[in-house]
């Protein structure tokens, strides 16, 4: 407890309130797990030693009027987690026309009396809590259930609570400049994601609480809290729609399993652990209900390390497959496939016409277009079967009647007396034969009729799409030359004929699946969050929207970090213009991750890119300028890194990363460090989790989305080229990973962009 906190006039009463809340939570948990009979006993255990002074009447009233017996498992888990830090803020608000000042304590979960709904803790996602994030002292308003409530905000207070004890109280106005934010930013990266709720800023809060019935696209600078916003928006959505939505109907599409591991700690804290978390590749395979063989995606690595003509061709093909132009190709292809299901043959059972070709084609072409092609055919087949069933008896009876009438005539007409017996016998045989023929036709006619239509697999359609370069070029309407079409087809079939696919093929497969066969409803999600969305292609986003049949997407990304721009997005405009026209587009330029000194250096790289990116504005937090150390022998490299880590640990930092440009350089760095510190170094690869107690060595392209207290950008053989757009972005990504300290270590300054002139 600090000196400042002890002299706050409300420290004693606030400590008492905190103690009451903690004990109250204990009673709630223990009572809900036992029975009403145990209620009084639990009360006596929890509060028997307390002397509440003047406050006792109010507290006792709350306790004796409470009911804890209807709590869900989720509510109990939230309360258990909240016990050591039940709330982080308080607001005092007086509704217009009321003489009562309401005190609202804001935390990660809510706690209230079941009888009179009086709240002990207000959930941060509730409408009135918005006053803490956006309200100014004085006249304010908030919206709840479509109604606007006005009044006076007289207090905004923050609490520093550690392990259940009140350490400090701060009365504030703007959260943007408050000390709590500074304290949070000064902490280690090891727990920042889980503690962000108390320091959400106004511009972040607006995005989190933006219209939940519209898609949103966020262009956010490095360190602006994009991931935080995405996770909190999911939490806010669940809070508002918990009566109508199963959390499993929401889905996070993460850039990698490494990233899923990184955010996993924050999900339970936000109450969103049941939300589906997957990658685009895994999700497409779920939708296709097939385990595909995916060719290892080394294009980015090859672009970084070799950059020859073969790599350029592969990158161009990836980019074209993900483009709007390829969407047009697919639209023409689907149109052609559809036309193969038009028919000129009427449907007969034996000699009886039951359905016309014109009506069949009309239903397929006009009435059933809301369904995928093969589901339309299943519906039409079912319709024909229904017609057969409803006419079955009539058709059999007509045949029987025809022969019965002739047999009856033969039995009673004198003219047939001579050969009557033979005629009747033949007629009876013929009747049996025709009835059997009709019955067989009834059984087989629908299947026989449907055989005129092709029945192919998704893989066969994919092969067919790329089997004719001339047709592909014609579909493109001038976007592809004949030579380019040949190149594209040859490259794709090289893998496809072995039933292998590249990452870029997945959007095409998903598109074809949705139009041809459909996606099972159990695989669909109603609300989707995509982090690092700048690395998605136009086709990936379009195919997802088409397959999921919703536009309820939250897309967060940073074009300046678009290291996959050869296949990803270079502008958000096509996304909000063509794919998500209802979307709200917003930008975040303020960075909360790193210091002014580090961000100023990183900003210099943005001016080298061929796009007009706004400069990132760091929150006012100072630190050391990025340092550079030059080494001659590789042993010196290891020594420099060890010194940086030791120095950081002495300052209380916990997470350290050495970032190399490529995996090739990282392997060498890792080997050098392992010799010096065996078992204390971890070379991170795509599918691995991040250890908390080791020095992490990670290539620049895998570090995106991660953050560490201290980052060392090291170079052995590789260099970042200021003339190469990808190199600029990779170094920018690496430079924006640290919270506190950044160092460069290389054989010469020229290995790093922006370090040459120093």
**418: annotated binding-site residue?**
no
Separation CA 758–CA 756 (nearest Å): 6
412 phi and psi angles, rounded to 5 deg: -110, -10
Alpha carbon dihedral 356, 361, 366, 371, in 10-degree steps, equals: 120
Element (H, E) at 740: strand 738-746
Packing angle of the helix pair 505-516, 280-288 (nearest 10 deg): 30
Element (H, E) at 282: helix 280-288
Q: What's the distance, CA 18 to chain centroid? A: 37
Estimate the share of the chain in helix, then strand, then coil, as percent rounded to the nearest 5. Answer: 50, 15, 35
Cβ(427)–Cβ(406) below 8 Å: yes
**679: annotated binding-site residue?**
no
Cβ(517)–Cβ(374) below 8 Å: yes
- What are the structure tokens assigned to 512, written together? 């074809």
Separation CA 659–CA 242 (nearest Å): 42
**224: annotated binding-site residue?**
yes
Q: Where are the beta strands (DSSP E) in 502-571?
A: 527-530, 553-557
Distance linking the first and last C-alpha atoms of the chain: 45
**223: annotated binding-site residue?**
yes
Separation CA 466–CA 472 (nearest Å): 7
Q: Whose CA is closest to 129, among 142, 116, 113, 111?
A: 142
122 phi and psi angles, rounded to 5 deg: -100, 130
Q: Whose CA is closest to 45, among 30, 60, 32, 61?
A: 30
Distances from the Cα of 623 to the Cαs of 87, 178, 739, in angstroms? 30, 18, 10
Per residue, what are the HEC states of 647-694? HHHHCCCCCEEEEECCHHHHHHHHHHHHHHCCCCEEECCCCCCCCCCC
- What are the structure tokens assigned to 108, written together? 């990660």
Check the CA dihedral 10-11-12-14 and report its sign.
Answer: positive
- What are the structure tokens assigned to 43, written together? 């009360």
Separation CA 699–CA 704 (nearest Å): 10
Neighbours of 458 (CB within 10 A): 15
**547: annotated binding-site residue?**
no
Burial group, residue 58, by CB count within 10 angstroms (0-12, 13-18, 19+): exposed
**DSSP sequence for 570-601:** S-SHHIIIII-TT-EEEEE-EE-SS-HHHHHH
**227: annotated binding-site residue?**
yes
Separation CA 568–CA 729 (nearest Å): 14
Characterize the bridge pairing of strands 102-107 and 553-557: unpaired
Cβ(725)–Cβ(609) below 8 Å: yes
Packing angle of the helix pair 309-321, 482-496 (nearest 10 deg): 90
Query: 325 Cβ partners below 8 Å, 6+ apart?
Result: 476, 479, 480
**146: annotated binding-site residue?**
no
Q: C-alpha angle with apex 588: 625 to 529, nearest 5 degrees?
A: 115
As annotated, the binding site for ATP includes 220-227
As annotated, the binding site includes 220-227
């Amino acid at each position: 407890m600090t000196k400042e906190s002890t002299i706050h006039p409300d420290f004693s009463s606030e400590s008492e309130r905190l103690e009451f809340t903690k004990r109250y939570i204990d009673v709630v948990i223990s009572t809900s797990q036992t029975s009403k009979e145990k209620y009084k006993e639990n009360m006596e255990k929890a509060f028997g030693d307390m002397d509440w002074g003047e406050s006792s009447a109010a507290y006792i009233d709350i306790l004796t009027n409470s009911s804890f017996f209807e709590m869900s498992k989720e509510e109990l888990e939230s309360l258990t987690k909240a016990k050591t830090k039940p709330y982080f803020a308080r607001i005092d608000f007086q509704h217009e026309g009321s003489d009562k000042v309401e005190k609202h304590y804001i935390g990660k979960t809510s706690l209230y009396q079941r009888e009179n709904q009086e709240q002990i803790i207000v959930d941060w996602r509730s409408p009135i809590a918005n006053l803490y994030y956006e309200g100014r002292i004085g006249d304010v308003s908030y919206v709840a259930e479509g109604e606007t409530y006005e009044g006076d905000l007289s207090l905004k207070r923050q609490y520093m609570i550690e392990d259940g004890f009140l350490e400090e109280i701060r009365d504030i106005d703007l959260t943007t400049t408050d000390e709590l934010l500074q304290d949070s930013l000064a902490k280690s990266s090891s727990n920042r994601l889980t503690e962000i709720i108390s320091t959400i800023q106004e511009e972040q809060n607006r995005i989190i609480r933006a219209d939940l019935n519209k898609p949103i696209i966020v262009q956010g600078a490095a360190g602006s809290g994009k991931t935080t916003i995405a996770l909190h928006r999911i939490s806010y959505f669940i809070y508002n729609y918990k009566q109508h939505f199963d959390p499993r109907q929401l889905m996070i599409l993460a850039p990698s399993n490494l990233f899923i591991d990184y955010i996993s700690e924050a999900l339970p804290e936000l109450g969103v652990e049941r939300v589906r978390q997957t990658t685009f590749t895994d999700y497409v395979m779920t939708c296709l209900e097939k385990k595909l063989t995916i060719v290892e995606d080394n294009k980015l690595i090859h672009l970084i390390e070799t950059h020859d003509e073969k790599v350029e061709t592969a990158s161009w093909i990836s980019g074209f497959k993900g483009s709007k132009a390829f969407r047009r190709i697919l639209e023409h292809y689907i149109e052609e496939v559809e036309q193969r299901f038009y028919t000129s043959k009427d449907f007969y059972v034996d000699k009886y016409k039951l359905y016309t070709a014109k009506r069949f084609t009309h239903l397929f072409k006009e009435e059933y277009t809301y369904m995928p092609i093969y589901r339309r055919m299943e519906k039409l087949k079912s319709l024909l079967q229904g017609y057969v069933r409803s006419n079955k008896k009539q058709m059999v009876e007509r045949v029987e009647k025809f022969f019965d009438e002739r047999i009856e005539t033969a039995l009673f007409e004198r003219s047939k007396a001579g050969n009557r017996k033979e005629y009747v016998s033949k007629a009876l045989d013929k009747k049996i034969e025709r009835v059997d023929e009709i019955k067989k036709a009834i059984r087989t006619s629908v299947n026989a009729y449907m055989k005129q239509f092709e029945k192919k697999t998704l893989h066969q359609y994919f092969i067919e799409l790329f089997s004719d370069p001339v047709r592909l070029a014609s579909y493109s309407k001038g976007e592809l030359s004949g030579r380019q079409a040949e190149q594209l087809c040859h490259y794709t079939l090289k893998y496809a004929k072995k039933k292998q696919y590249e990452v870029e093929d997945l959007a095409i497969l998903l598109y074809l699946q949705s139009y041809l066969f459909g996606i099972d409803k159990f695989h669909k999600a109603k609300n989707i969050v995509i982090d690092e969305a700048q690395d998605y292609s136009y086709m990936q986003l379009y195919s997802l929207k088409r397959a999921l049949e919703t536009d309820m997407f939250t897309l967060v990304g940073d074009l300046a970090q678009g290291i996959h721009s050869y296949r990803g997005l270079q502008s958000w405009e096509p996304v909000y213009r063509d794919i998500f026209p209802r979307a709200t587009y917003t930008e975040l330029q303020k960075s909360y991750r790193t210091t002014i000194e580090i961000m100023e250096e990183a900003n210099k790289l943005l001016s080298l890119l061929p796009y007009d990116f706004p400069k990132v504005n760091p929150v006012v937090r100072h630190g050391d300028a990025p340092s550079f150390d030059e080494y001659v022998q590789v042993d010196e490299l290891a020594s420099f890194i060890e010194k940086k880590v030791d120095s950081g640990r002495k300052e209380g930092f916990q997470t350290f990363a050495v970032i190399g440009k490529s995996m090739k350089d990282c392997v060498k760095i890792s080997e050098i460090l392992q010799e010096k510190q065996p078992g204390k170094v971890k070379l991170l690869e795509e599918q691995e989790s991040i250890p908390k107690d080791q020095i992490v060595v990670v290539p620049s392209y895998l570090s995106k989305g991660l953050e560490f207290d201290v980052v060392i950008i090291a170079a052995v053989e590789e260099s970042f080229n200021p003339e190469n757009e990808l190199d600029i972005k990779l170094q920018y990504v690496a430079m924006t990973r640290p919270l506190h300290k950044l160092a460069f270590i290389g054989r010469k300054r020229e290995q790093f962009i922006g370090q040459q002139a120093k």
